[in-house]
Structures are given as C-alpha cells and as structure tokens.
C-alpha cells in the first residue's frame, strides 16, 4: 500500500485506543495486533510511533496519572492550606482515578521511570510536605506510605473476590460465616475501608507531625528521625512515585 498522504496514526490516538481496550477488557487484551486492528491499521505500523508494546503501556499509565488532581498542594505553601487537607484531596482523587481504570494498576509496579505525570505528582506531594514543615526525609516517607495505601486500595477489589457460595466457608473458616455476602456489598466495603484507612493515617500522621515539629523547633535544622541515607546530607529527596 505504501505511505499514505496523511498519517493514519498518532501517539495520542494509539494511547486513547489502548486505554479504552484496557478498561473494557484487561491489560492482556492489549496486543499490538488487536490494537492495530481497532485503529484500522496493520500491526507493525505501531512501531513507527512507539518503541514497543511496553512503551505504549507506559504512555497509557502516564495518561491515567495525569487525571489525578494535585491542585490542592499549591495552597499548602501559599494560603496555608493544612497539609492534611491537601493529602486527603490528592489521595481521594488518586484512588478514584485508579478505580476508574482498575486493570492498569499492576502496571504501576514497574515504577515511575521517566513518566512526566508521575514525576509531576511526586514533585507536588514532596514539595507541599516540605513547605508544610515536614523534614525532607520524613516527607519522603509520608509520600511513599500514602502511595502504598492508595495503590493497594486500587489493586483489585477486596470484597469482590470472595466466592458467593456459602459452602466454601462452612466448617473450615469459622469467622467467615457471612463472607458469601461480601460480593454484593463490594463497592461500599471498598470505599468505607479506604475512608477509614485514610482517616486513621491522617490522625496518626498528625500526631507524628506535632512531635517532629516540636523536636525540630528546639534543634533547628534537624531532620526528625534517622536519615534514610546516612552520610548524604539532607537524606533522600522526593515524595511520590507513580
């Protein structure tokens, strides 16, 4: 057929179609051939726009992360928005976005790499925590542990995974006598568990923050705990990954 007058493909069109496929079916459903067919094009044509399938998935992941609302962090240094409020808003948005694209979550395991939205998010989280008064090393930890919680909450539904066959539990698992009802309540359980965990984390971190800031006040420049990378001044330096 030869080269068309106008390109049939573009990175954006490929990524959008791939995301639609991931959402509609699964990560495994995205094959270069299927994706190409969906785009009305032959398989290898994709390689003119991306280095390979992994690069396409990487771009899809970053597109999804771009949907996360990080505007709350801007107010932390500026108008004195409490860091807790910013963190809460971000965590809820982050979870909501991942819940909207649940099949993409395992792809977060590969790391942030050079994805611009992932780095933008890390920068915002870490920057706001430092602005709020968290020592750098602690700010890193807080960003990381928040990410643990949010990504874990998006990695498949908890409640939805229980068989709704009561016979599975009878006799063998004495406390799971009503577990066959869990699948029905899936959404409510997943969400209320997330909210409960978020509040617990905020309460716990607020206590820690008070201690750290008080300690630091008496000893200016201290980092509030063991440095993550002893020997390097200031410790490690960031807040978040993907």
Partner DNA sequence: GTCTATATGCTGATAGAC
Partner DNA sequence: GTCTATCAGCATATAGAC
Contact pattern for its own copies over residues 166 through 185, marking x by CB under 8 A: --xx--xxxxxxxx-xx-xx
Contact pattern for DNA over residues 7 through 46, marking x by CB under 7 A: xxx--------------------xxxxx-x----xxxxx-
2 binds DNA (CB under 7 A): yes
Q: Which stretch binds its own copies (CB under 8 A): 16-24, 31-39, 104-112, 214-222?
A: 104-112
> Cβ 31 to its own copies, closest distance in Å?
14
- Binding to DNA (CB under 7 A) within 161-200 occurs at none
Q: Which entry of its own copies, DNA, none binds 9, CB below 5 to 8 A by partner kind?
A: DNA
31/71 with CB nearer DNA: 31
What is d(CA 157, CA 187) in angstroms, rounded to the nearest whole number? 8
> Cβ 2 to its own copies, closest distance in Å?
36
What is d(CA 202, CA 112) in angstroms, rounded to the nearest whole number? 25
Residue 154 · residue 95 · CB < 8 Å: yes
96/169 with CB nearer its own copies: 169
Q: Which stretch binds its own copies (CB under 8 A): 7-15, 17-25, 82-90, 148-156?
A: 148-156
In this structure, the number of other CB atoms found within 10 A of the CB of residue 217 comes to 10
Backbone angles phi, psi at 235, to 5 degrees: 75, -170
188 binds its own copies (CB under 8 A): yes
Residue 60: which H helix or E strand, with range? helix 53-65
Per-residue b or e along 231-241, where b marks 16 or more CB atoms closer than 10 Å to that residue's CB: eeeebeebbbb
> Cβ 156 to DNA, closest distance in Å?
19
**CA 111 from centroid of its chain's CA atoms:** 11
DSSP secondary structure code for residue 48 in this structure: G
49 binds DNA (CB under 7 A): yes
What residues contact 85, with CB distance under 8 A and at least 6 apart? 72
The tokens describing 131, both together, are: 């602005």
55 binds its own copies (CB under 8 A): no
Q: Which stretch binds its own copies (CB under 8 A): 3-11, 36-44, 62-70, 137-145?
A: 137-145
Per-residue b or e along 185-199, where b marks 16 or more CB atoms closer than 10 Å to that residue's CB: eeeebbeeebeeebe
Residues that bind DNA (CB under 7 A): 1-4, 7-9, 30-34, 36, 41-45, 47-49, 52-54
């Amino acid at each position: 057929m030869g080269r068309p007058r106008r390109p049939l493909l573009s990175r954006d069109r490929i990524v959008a179609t791939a995301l639609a496929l991931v959402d509609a079916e699964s990560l495994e459903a995205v094959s270069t051939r299927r994706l190409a067919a969906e785009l009305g094009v032959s398989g290898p044509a994709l390689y003119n726009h991306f280095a390979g399938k992994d690069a396409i998935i990487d771009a899809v992941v970053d597109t999804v992360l771009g949907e996360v609302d990080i505007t709350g962090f801007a107010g932390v240094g500026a108008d004195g928005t409490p860091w807790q409020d910013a963190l809460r808003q971000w965590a809820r948005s982050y979870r909501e976005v991942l819940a909207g694209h649940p099949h993409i979550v395992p792809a977060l395991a590969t790391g942030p790499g050079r994805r611009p939205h992932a780095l933008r998010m890390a920068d915002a989280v870490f920057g706001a925590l430092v602005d709020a008064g968290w020592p750098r090393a602690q700010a890193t930890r807080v960003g990381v542990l928040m990410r643990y919680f949010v990504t874990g909450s998006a990695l498949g539904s908890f409640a939805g995974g229980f068989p709704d066959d009561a016979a599975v539990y009878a006799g063998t698992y004495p406390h799971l006598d009503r577990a066959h009802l869990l699948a029905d309540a899936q959404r409510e359980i997943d969400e209320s568990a997330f909210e409960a965990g978020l509040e617990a984390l905020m309460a716990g971190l607020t206590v820690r923050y008070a201690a750290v800031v008080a300690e630091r006040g008496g000893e200016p420049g201290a980092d509030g705990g063991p440095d993550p990378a002893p020997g390097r001044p200031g410790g490690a330096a960031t807040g978040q990954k993907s």
